[in-house]
Chain A
């Protein structure tokens, strides 16, 4: 496994980590920052539970949190990371650093950042719906968090053999954590994480991200959707799809139900056919028509079958070739592959 692949695995790891190693990592991070070790380390099953604890809720063992003292995130995470980044920046120069970051961390951060944002939003929605004042308080608590496994992109770009070994140890064994003067709260990793090939949260029959305390986020190809909505997808009918007023949810319904099945059940007809594929049109009352090209993958699957897939194209599309060409930003005349695999 290359180092980069291993950091990718860290960011996406699920299931119980190693509590002893994570706690040792936290203590090491305090030491490296020149701080006294925290008097108490408390575990939470999710970042939501951690924030709830910090807001005065009971811990796993039903004990309330002792006084935490001020956050020491700056000393434990911000300063050592900034120092290591500055050291590399000086050594490699601005262009060298930027090349290095693009090879080492940029892609991973590109997919981890939306995940982190979604978790933050999920916590705010769970704890402070429609309460601006509470929301601010929770957002401030979220700023105290060290991202643990979700710091993988940054750690992969830095020399973790230096003073960052404590942070690295926690990242490899646990989720987000909160360092305070007297107390550190460490959270377990999620129990489930489902993403599509582009790295977006994606699952049709359950939460895309779930923690052992029940905190969960639902999403379809990155689009946040309510859990109840996904539950209802099993009993979809073409009529319900047509009647859904929210265009984004209707798109999810169509994708889940399957364009092919929908086309068949709703009696849609192919509009045009050529060597690039087949063009379909579905009329959606009160909305622009859904126009799709049906394309067959050139490389057969391992079982010898060829996968057919549908791509939605602009409603003005008139031919299959024009549709396929559009997916690559070309005109029908320009699109002319010599070889396809």
Chain B
């Protein structure tokens, strides 16, 4: 399990990956060829994966998302140290905050 700022990347056993994920459409890469896990709107800073792999959006805009990196990968961000991910499947989770009556996503 890895954490970069407000994004948590938790390993997922291949047997626990939903069947639908294997042939689901992958999220498109950004124009720099990266898989963007979360984007800071104002700074444009992004938690992004560099290297081969696929990112699959499971539900709504704020995830969670599934990440598959068959050869391992690096997670980079402009303000956080990079993290090396061993090969495999991961669940990508955005940090949230409790608001009475609702829940909102954290912006770091």
Contact = CB atoms under 8 A, between A and B. Distances in A.
Interface in A187-201: 195-200
Contacts of B4: 340-341
B98 A326 contact: yes
B92 to A, nearest CB: 10
Interface residues of A, number: 44
Interface residues of B, number: 40
A197 B107 contact: yes
Contacts of B41: 107, 111, 195, 197-199
Nearest to A3: B31
A66 B77 CA distance: 54
Nearest to B7: A328
B32 A328 contact: no
Contacts of A121: none
Contacts of B98: 291, 311-314, 326
A311 B42 contact: no
A18 interface: no
B28 interface: yes
B27 A102 contact: yes
Max chain A Cβ within 10 angstroms of own Cβ: one of B29, B42, B79, B106: B42
Interface of A: 2-5, 8, 95, 99-100, 102-103, 107, 110-111, 195-200, 247, 251, 287-288, 291, 297-299, 311-314, 326-330, 334-341
Given A247-B101, A251-B99, A314-B98, 9 more contacts: A2-B31, A299-B80, A311-B98, A311-B106, A312-B98, A330-B10, A335-B1, A337-B2, A340-B3
30 contacts: A2-B32, A3-B31, A4-B30, A5-B44, A99-B28, A107-B39, A107-B41, A110-B61, A111-B41, A197-B41, A197-B108, A198-B107, A298-B80, A299-B81, A311-B97, A312-B97, A314-B98, A326-B98, A327-B97, A328-B8, A329-B96, A334-B10, A335-B1, A337-B8, A338-B1, A340-B2, A340-B4, A341-B4, A341-B5, A341-B81
